[in-house]
Amino acid sequence: MHQPDQFQVLVLGSGTGGKLVAWHMVQAGRRTAVVERRWIGGSCPNIACMPSKNEISSARVAYLVRHAAEFGWRISPPVIDMGVVRQRKRDMVQAQVTAHAQNYKASGAELIMGTGHFTAPKTIEVNLNDGGTCLPVIRSSSTSERRRQSPMFPASDQPGRSQISKPWSSTTCRRT
């Protein structure tokens, strides 16, 4: 196991919320890491929203070509090459993953590929995808434990420490 790394912000998951919070926190001067199990950028650009829309766009074009005569076009029997449709989708996914990886590097947020779980307060053990473990530790940015007002959440909206019993999962919206 590696020596613990100290971070001010540690995000589990690199989906839309995770990546934007991480990049914002780095811009605000906080040492930030994101732990991602599998899909850099989350499921949307990898297996869900964007690949689906990409294939739906291809289906729409196929529909228009099949009905081209209604618009005055004469097209010999149209042929759909699903290999090309799949490759177009795969190229789009790869471009998105590459862009996200470059954004992590450019922002200064550290991307840790692995599965994380809490082992102690402010401590997450990460089983790295390429083997081994690491132990990133969340540390306070100041020497005191006082709450700092966040520009995203006014002080009146910030719950007190006694009100927080467990972290919430952004994907399930229930206590984990």
How far is the C-alpha of 128 from the C-alpha of 114, rounded, in Å? 4
89-128 pLDDT, tens digit per residue, is 999 999 999 999 999 999 999 999 999 988 888 888 899 9
- Rg of the chain on CA atoms, in Å: 22
Average pLDDT for 55-84: 93
Q: Say what the pLDDT of residue 176 is.
A: 37
**Average pLDDT value over all residues in the chain:** 81
* Single-letter residue type at 50: M
Long-range CB contacts for residues 121-126, cutoff 8 Å, separation at least 24: 123/4, 124/10, 124/12, 124/35, 126/35
Full set of structural domains in the chain with CATH: 6-163 (3.50.50.60)
For residue 153 the two structure tokens come to: 């959440």
Which of 98, 85, 8 has the alpha carbon at shortest distance from 52?
Answer: 85
**Any idea which residue has 């529909």 for tokens?**
63
End-to-end CA distance of the chain: 26
Q: Is the dihedral of CA 16, 22, 27, 28 positive or negative?
A: positive
Pairing outcome for strands 110-120 and 123-128: antiparallel
**What's this model's pTM, rounded to 2 decimal places?**
0.70
Q: Say what the pLDDT of residue 102 is.
A: 94
User: pLDDT-based confidence at 169, cuts 50/70/90?
Assistant: very low
144-159 pLDDT, tens digit per residue, is 333 444 444 444 444 4
User: 14 pLDDT exceeds 70?
Assistant: yes
